[in-house]
Structure 1
């Protein structure tokens, strides 16, 4: 584990339209001690060639292609297994970071002495146009608060592995990032929020999280089958999740 290295976890599938912007946003970081691990989930477009062209220019960018399309959880887990950094950051292949994202967030985490942090972010469309929607974050979140709704945008989360006594792994369950955050906070950790817009989340028509009904079903499944929360408490958290979802929209 390299002390100040940030390992950036980037799953990719047919992201030819966006991957350049994503990589450039990492290359433009003021914090330079990073590695970007891009795991290609059997893309059929030009995205592999685009990524390979960047690996030739900067050795910090690493390309891995899996032999079988198994989805985003598997791609992230492959990247996690190949990560060398103390810090783990997540950035999907169509999202973008502000240039000072890592510098400000790593400093923030050292000040807070925390294991996990997240930041505010804004929404953009497929044409890189801002949608005038900013998702603000609270100062901190514990396990029970997080059950009321996932306020940790995956593209903003950074985890300090040195403060955890277990391996970071995606479960494969829908909303796998939410499951991971819950598994960390359930152990007593607190997630600290930096209320500054340091990332841009691309809102696409095909976004999985865009389907409200499916998202609600996946959340209910997490309550009952992953977290094993009793029915009456699950209903309580689900009502809060629904209210927070309305506010977020």
Structure 2
């Protein structure tokens, strides 16, 4: 007996935005992880930011084979924050998420599990819900390093996100309305632009955990892990100062915890520099 139409199984669509710049070696793995999701009512928006490594050939090939893919090729390099923003504006899904082109959805039920969490909370009268999954750290070759070690916080997590004392959700499921209400990505930040957005989202929304590791976050020589600790500390501090006024309570405690974290980063960097 034939099953019900797909629209009845997944009545609400999900948009996945994948910005790409010169990640050809990881791109197919990324796209396959999205297209193999058991939540099949989705669109995949892939934005290539003037890659020079042949990424465009892969994107065009995938788009020809799967009509759920919307390829976008920039005429100039715009940077990851602008590309994510443009992809979100272009999206048609009821819900959306993002995924860097060197990362993967770790499980085929990642999206469906997050969708179920949102629907369960909405059914109890809870509004402004964002659903997230755990993060598995990967080597450049895709082998697993282990889950990201951080405590899981749910509900109102603004203070914890600002202090960076919990798992910072990434590639979570939310709506375009939630994104726009939070003000979107700030293109002034070359790194941690996603943390800046998450702080503002946490001011207005409640975050809930699926209980699974759903993201494969790849560590390799050209990613965020290659940025110097001093540059990390600088941009973290800039974003902290920008959003400090959003805190509802415990501002003094939060300032102390964050300042100690930055000081440790700088001290460790100086210590390692002397050893060299």
Give the TM-score band, short-chain normalised: 0.7 to 0.9
What's the CA shift string for 1:44-90, capped at 9, x where partnerless? Answer: 01111101101011111111011111210111111011100111111
CA RMSD of aligned residues (A): 2.8
Contact 1:118 1:152 in 2 (8 A): no
SS for the counterpart of 1:154 is coil
CA distance in 1, matches of 2:211, 2:178: 23
Q: Match for residue 236 of structure 1? A: 256
CA offset at residue 112 of structure 1? 2.0
The change in CA–CA distance for 1:180 and 1:3 in structure 2 (over 3 A counts) is farther
Q: Match for residue 268 of structure 2? A: none
CA distance in 1, matches of 2:202, 2:212: 22
Contact 1:37 1:79 in 2 (8 A): yes
Whether 1:202 and 2:218 are equivalent positions in the alignment is yes
The change in CA–CA distance for 1:108 and 1:46 in structure 2 (over 3 A counts) is same
The change in CA–CA distance for 1:135 and 1:55 in structure 2 (over 3 A counts) is farther
What's the CA shift string for 1:172-194, capped at 9, x where partnerless? Answer: 1231111111112223x221122
Scaled by the length of structure 2, the TM-score of the pair is 0.78
Correspondence for 1:190 among 193, 198, 206:
206
Q: Can you give the 5+ residue segments of structure 2 that lack an aligned partner in the other structure?
A: 1-9, 123-127, 266-276
Larger radius of gyration: 2
Correspondence for 2:144 among 113, 116, 130:
130
Q: Match for residue 112 of structure 1? A: 121
Contact 2:203 2:246 in 1 (8 A): no
Where do 1:1-249 residues align within 5 Å?
4-97=12-105, 98-113=107-122, 114-135=128-149, 138-140=152-154, 141-149=156-164, 151-155=167-171, 157-161=172-176, 166=181, 169-172=184-187, 173=189, 174-187=191-204, 189-211=205-227, 212-228=229-245, 235-239=255-259, 241=261
CA distance in 2, matches of 1:164, 1:78: 12
What's the CA shift string for 1:181-229, capped at 9, x where partnerless? Answer: 1112223x22112231112110112212553332222111112134457
* Higher relative contact order (CA closer than 8 Å, sequence separation 6+): 1
Q: Can you give the 5+ residue segments of structure 1 that lack an aligned partner in the other structure?
A: none
The structure carrying a bigger helix percent of its residues is: 2
CA distance in 1, matches of 2:192, 2:67: 32
The change in CA–CA distance for 1:31 and 1:77 in structure 2 (over 3 A counts) is same
What is the count of residue pairs matched by the alignment? 242
CA distance in 1, matches of 2:185, 2:62: 27
CA distance in 1, matches of 2:142, 2:225: 19
CA offset at residue 124 of structure 1? 1.0
